[in-house]
A and B are shown apart, each in its own frame.
Chain A
Amino acid sequence: MFSYPTVRASFIFLAIALGGLLVADIAITTANPWQDLGRFFLGVATPNFFSTEGLMTALLRTVAFAFVGVTIGSLAGFLLALGYRFLPVRIFCAFIRSIHELFWALIFLQFFGFHPLTGVLAIAIPYSGIFAKVYSEIFEESDPEPGRLLPPGTGSMSAFLYARIPDCWEQIRTYTSYRLECGLRSSAILGFVGLPTLGFYLESSFSQGMYSDAGAMLILFYILIATLPLWVRPKLLPFYILAAPFFLGDGFPIVWGNVERFFTEDIIPAPLRDGEGLAGLSAWFGDVMVTEALPGIWNTIVLTQIALVATGIISLLAFPLISNHFGGPVRRTSGHVLLVIARSTPEYILAYILLQLWGPSMLPAVVALALHNGGIIGHLIGRQTNTIRLRPDAPIGFTRYSWELVPRVYRSFLAFLFYRWEIIMRETAILGILGIYTLGFYVDSAIQNIRFDRAMVLILITALLNIGVDALGRYIRRKLALQTMQTC
């Protein structure tokens, strides 16, 4: 079995994760974790849709921010995709998408304040980087023959409009609408840094112990995402896009003095600001590295590796839930519901809830990341097994699972997992804002202490780490010859 490179790679990653568990801080620190969990589930079972009028506003704002952010992101991404063959454009896109939406929000909050622009840009900027990459991949995969047959002298715009766009249109449309779903999740969690979306109301209900209110919000959020195909219709889309900017709320006006100060003073490293020169700068940078960056990087990597393997295990356990090869229609329907909930709850919200219930440690983060990402991969793999035709006398039960199905889907399973590696790391870093000692924790505390220079250095380090893991993931996928497909 160990002669297969995919199996060897899997066991190497498993060993790394087990090693990580030894050094990681995994514990339940609250006095009554199960009682709190029970109260939370009771709250979800008895949702209260009418306690605050703020709920509907929050829902509306969540949708509005998602629409405006994703629309701008897709337009900018489309333009960037046209120039994607130029290296500087590719580097620029890789950089802006390696910084998480919440980090962008934290940056813009410092100078735009609670202005709608903060939330819009926080979604639009990283999304345009992702759109640029995926759109350019779609363009590349389109049939080049019609373009080759055009009469010489055809303008490049005409050639693009006729020979490229129509062929890619369906894929672009599918991916963009799928991305809108991701945009709704991003928009919801922006509330955790104070923007008026669902996360904000979820956090305040939780902190007051109003689990029924929190439950109502979660249920409405699931309904919103599950019914997306019903209310997002191509014909209605222009209406939504035009209307959305008017539902972002007013927020607070932008103080332009703050914007100027942010760029000319706040983010300039302290020693330079105080005129201590290069010697002061290197001492300052050394201090940031030793006291904040290195512990942050270490914890981020440890948590990412554990969460990656946990995601893999959950995916492999979860895909039979929706596979046609097992169980009856009842079990498959409940399996679908379970996986929809797992993948439409943003990992940030899952981690937040678990952290409230179990207290701060790496455990809630690992469970949240594994449930969310495992739900996504389990869903994709389960759907893939439904296209497999087994011989009529194929074994059933566990033998069917382990001998017939897993070997057939294992390569695409690994492809998805390594594709999500970078996403898991980006999320791991951001979960630090909730109080786990990953990079996000140090970014957040630097901002709390009004040391934006440090925060910017840490965000840059996080971005480089993500770019590095992305490259490593792509290298491993190529080495193992794994085919991939975009997920978010």
Chain B
Amino acid sequence: MSGFDFHGLTASFNGERVIGPLSLHVNEGEHVALVGQSGAGKSTLIRLLYDRLESEASLIPQGLGLVNALPVFHNVFMGQLDRHPGWYNALTLIRPFRRDRDTIKALLKELEISEKQWIPAAALSGGQRQRVAIARAIYRQAPVLLADEPISALDGPMAHLVMKTLTNRFSTSIIALHDVDMALRYCNRIIGIQDGQIALDEAASSLVASDIMSLY
């Protein structure tokens, strides 16, 4: 069966075990939501998975990792720096090519921030910054999405829009979420993390919100 196998995932912080050891198999086409209390180890697990997958995954970390001094366009463009030669990237920094401008503009439009395309990331609000990081992850076009609380700064309709876009654009995704309803609605598998271990692993269709609340 095709998919992604992770064995012996562990992480320690200051000599204290925060994750695992745990193993995990994710099938292609699955949208996995990681749920659990803050501090349960969700972010660490996302990092570990990213280290394992690297070239196959787009990552949206909690800190977003935007370059504040660069405009939105360039922050998104960074998702494909590996596909162009150095001179092309250097020229793009000064004057972007038409083709890339159009692609990124369309992507930003989908996320409803196309009017901010040339504004430095530093000048954006929290929710706008989050959508820039999301656009960058989509633009990278990796087969798997790893996202750590990608909708934490977005309000209702926007959060739904983003979750819909992400699950459409990526065939496989692993998303840490604290919003249980969102997790049930957009993901088809729920993994609950407690004290660095998997405490729950079920198909979303077989769960209701109260089943998950026991983790909190």
Segment at the interface with B among A100-108, A163-171, A210-218, A244-252: A163-171
B76-96 vs A, CB cutoff 8 Å, 1 = contact: the mask equals: 001111111110011001000
- Cβ of B70 and Cβ of A152 under 8 Å apart? no
- Cβ of B78 and Cβ of A150 under 8 Å apart? yes
How far, in Å, is B5 (CB) from chain A's closest CB? Answer: 20
- Cβ of B67 and Cβ of A163 under 8 Å apart? yes
- Given A162-B67, A167-B67; A149-B61 close (CB under 8 Å): yes
Q: Is A148 an interface residue (CB 8 A)?
A: yes
- Cβ of A162 and Cβ of B82 under 8 Å apart? no
Contacts of A159 in B (CB 8 A): 81
A118-154 vs B, CB cutoff 8 Å, 1 = contact: the mask equals: 0000000000000000000000000101101111111
Report the Cα distance A162→B81, complex, angstroms.
9
Q: Is B54 an interface residue (CB 8 A)?
A: yes
Contacts of A154 in B (CB 8 A): 81-82
- Cβ of A151 and Cβ of B86 under 8 Å apart? no
Select one of B54, B79, B89 contacting A155, CB under 8 A: B89
- Given A162-B74, A167-B68, A169-B69; A152-B89 close (CB under 8 Å): no
- Given A152-B54, A153-B82; A170-B140 close (CB under 8 Å): no
Report the Cα distance A154→B86, complex, angstroms.
9
Report the Cα distance A159→B79, complex, angstroms.
11
Contacts of B55 in A (CB 8 A): 151-153
- Cβ of B67 and Cβ of A146 under 8 Å apart? yes
Select one of B61, B70, B83, B86 contacting A145, CB under 8 A: B61
Q: Is B126 an interface residue (CB 8 A)?
A: no
Report the Cα distance A143→B68, complex, angstroms.
10
- Cβ of B86 and Cβ of A155 under 8 Å apart? yes
Contacts of A158 in B (CB 8 A): 81, 84, 86, 89-90
Contacts of B81 in A (CB 8 A): 150-151, 154-155, 158-159, 162
How far, in Å, is B147 (CB) from chain A's closest CB? Answer: 12
Contacts of A163 in B (CB 8 A): 67, 78
Report the Cα distance A148→B57, complex, angstroms.
13
Contacts of A145 in B (CB 8 A): 61, 63, 65
**Main SS at interface, chain A:** helix
Select one of B54, B61, B78 contacting A162, CB under 8 A: B78
Report the Cα distance A154→B82, complex, angstroms.
4
- Cβ of B70 and Cβ of A151 under 8 Å apart? no
- Cβ of B69 and Cβ of A162 under 8 Å apart? no
Report the Cα distance A154→B136, complex, angstroms.
15
- Cβ of B79 and Cβ of A151 under 8 Å apart? yes
Q: Which of A146, A149, A159 has the most CB of B within 10 A?
A: A149
Q: Is B59 an interface residue (CB 8 A)?
A: yes
A159-192 vs B, CB cutoff 8 Å, 1 = contact: the mask equals: 1011100110110000000000000000000000
Q: Is A279 an interface residue (CB 8 A)?
A: no
Report the Cα distance A153→B70, complex, angstroms.
21
- Cβ of A157 and Cβ of B86 under 8 Å apart? yes
How far, in Å, is B47 (CB) from chain A's closest CB? Answer: 10
Select one of B68, B69, B90, B136 contacting A161, CB under 8 A: B90
- Given A150-B81, A154-B82; A166-B69 close (CB under 8 Å): yes
Q: Is B187 an interface residue (CB 8 A)?
A: no
Contacts of A146 in B (CB 8 A): 65-67, 78
- Cβ of A148 and Cβ of B65 under 8 Å apart? yes
Contacts of A143 in B (CB 8 A): 65, 67
Q: Chain A residue with minimal CB distance to B120?
A: A166
Contacts of B69 in A (CB 8 A): 166-167, 169-170
How far, in Å, is B190 (CB) from chain A's closest CB? Answer: 26
Contacts of B90 in A (CB 8 A): 157-158, 161
Within 8 A of A (CB), among B75-132: 78-86, 89-90, 93
- Cβ of A166 and Cβ of B86 under 8 Å apart? no
Report the Cα distance A152→B85, complex, angstroms.
14
- Given A150-B81, A152-B55, A153-B82; A166-B140 close (CB under 8 Å): no
- Given A149-B65, A161-B93; A155-B70 close (CB under 8 Å): no
How far, in Å, is B2 (CB) from chain A's closest CB? Answer: 22
How far, in Å, is B24 (CB) from chain A's closest CB? Answer: 22
Q: Which residues of B contact A (CB under 8 A)?
A: 54-55, 59, 61, 63, 65-70, 74, 78-86, 89-90, 93, 136, 140, 142
What would 13 more interface pairs be, CB under 8 Å, given A158-B84, A162-B81? A143-B65, A145-B63, A149-B59, A151-B81, A151-B82, A152-B55, A153-B55, A155-B82, A157-B90, A158-B81, A161-B93, A163-B67, A166-B67
Q: Which residues of A contact B (CB under 8 A)?
A: 143, 145-146, 148-155, 157-159, 161-163, 166-167, 169-170
Mind listing 30 A-B residue pairs with CB under 8 Å? A145-B65, A146-B66, A149-B136, A150-B78, A151-B55, A151-B79, A151-B80, A151-B81, A151-B82, A151-B83, A151-B142, A153-B55, A153-B82, A154-B81, A154-B82, A155-B82, A155-B85, A155-B86, A157-B89, A157-B90, A158-B84, A158-B86, A161-B89, A162-B74, A162-B93, A163-B67, A166-B69, A166-B74, A167-B69, A170-B69
